[in-house]
Amino acid sequence: MKLYEYLENVKSKNPLVQNITNYVSSNDCANILLACGASPVMTNEIDDSIDIASISDGLVLNIGTLNKLIIKSMIYTGKTANKLNHPIVLDPVGVGISKLRTDSVKFLINNLKISVIRGNISEIKFLENKSEHPKGVDSNNLENLYDISESFKKLSKKLNSIIVATGEIDIITDGNKTCFCKNGNTYMKKVSGTGCQLSSVISAFVSSNSDIFFATISAVCSYGICGEIAFSRMNVLDGNSSYRNYIIDAMCNLNSEIFEKKVNYEIR
């Protein structure tokens, strides 16, 4: 199966992706989901969330503006999703910058079967207990990628989740194989919520395909390609706000031909 076929499956299946997420990037997450061919629904309240989990195809848990009721809602909704074998994507936004975030992420990981965990490199390192204190929610460094990826492989095995660590080069591992995705543009860091958007996009892809490792790779490459196309549209007066629009626009127009021409990854 070609990598672009995972994208085509999103468009043909039109999965309903439920997001228990933050209020900062929720509009962008909704629009990028529509752009890639999915239908979004955002919920918070526990009763509402549990009911909707049963008609959704996938669930995103994003702790960007968490509170205690939301975490409770995540657990109960997640258990419903688990029962129905709907994949869960966890975005541990800012794990390590507060005790509540760290405890909540541990609680979610220990009590739910999570299909994919997506964070930036410092967030994923924190999950390994290799914590330099991450700065805010957008820190990142280029480092010795192969070393890092070996330890992420172990983390993936331990947690039984696909790990996605985004940075200049994105690392995706299922504990056996590791994919390095070179698509994307560093300017994406200037846009709030690109990580959140990617987590929602991954959910759309893993909800529409049975091979969730390759679906995740396809999602990460797709979003990276959008970042490249968006950057090539920038004129001299454009900044991060126009860029934000262009990324979502690019997802709207992404097709197999563009994907094949631009995709840039390596699997080890």
Helical (H) or strand (E) element with 179: strand 178-181
Q: Is the separation of the CB atoms in 253 and 34 below 8 Å?
A: no
4-33 binders of a copy of itself (CB under 8 A): 16, 22-28, 30-31
**Is residue 47 at the binding interface for a copy of itself, with CB under 8 A as the rule?**
yes
Task: Choose between 27 and 160: whose C-beta lies nearer to a copy of itself.
Answer: 27
**Is residue 252 at the binding interface for a copy of itself, with CB under 8 A as the rule?**
yes
Task: Choose between 21 and 149: whose C-beta lies nearer to a copy of itself.
Answer: 21
Which residue in the set 10, 35, 121, 201 belongs to the binding site for a copy of itself (CB under 8 A)? 35
CA dihedral 21, 24, 29, 30 (to 10 degrees): 90
**Is residue 245 at the binding interface for a copy of itself, with CB under 8 A as the rule?**
yes
**Is residue 43 at the binding interface for a copy of itself, with CB under 8 A as the rule?**
yes
Nearest of 243, 217, 213 to residue 230 by alpha carbon: 243
CA distance 100 to 30: 26
Task: Choose between 51 and 211: whose C-beta lies nearer to a copy of itself.
Answer: 51
Question: CB of residue 186 vs a copy of itself: minimum separation in angstroms?
Answer: 13
Interface characters, 88-107, with a copy of itself (x: CB under 8 A): ------x--xxxxx------
| CB-based contacts of 124, cutoff 8 Å, min separation 6 | 117, 152, 155, 163, 165
**Is residue 248 at the binding interface for a copy of itself, with CB under 8 A as the rule?**
yes
**Is residue 44 at the binding interface for a copy of itself, with CB under 8 A as the rule?**
yes
- Determine the size of the site formed for a copy of itself (CB under 8 A): 65
232 three-state secondary structure? helix
- Residue reference for tokens 């205690």: 68
**Is residue 131 at the binding interface for a copy of itself, with CB under 8 A as the rule?**
no
Nearest of 144, 234, 228, 131 to residue 188 by alpha carbon: 228
140-179 binders of a copy of itself (CB under 8 A): none
**Is residue 261 at the binding interface for a copy of itself, with CB under 8 A as the rule?**
no
Q: Is the separation of the CB atoms in 215 and 175 below 8 Å?
A: no
Q: Quick one: angle between helices 240-253 and 212-233, nearest 10?
A: 130
**Region for 20 from its dihedrals, namely left if φ exceeds 0, alpha if ψ lies in -120 to 50, beta otherwise:** beta
Question: CB of residue 211 vs a copy of itself: minimum separation in angstroms?
Answer: 25
Please give the residue ranges that form the binding site for a copy of itself (CB under 8 A).
16, 22-28, 30-31, 34-35, 39-45, 47-48, 51-52, 55, 64-69, 94, 97-101, 133, 135-139, 190-193, 229, 233, 236-242, 244-253
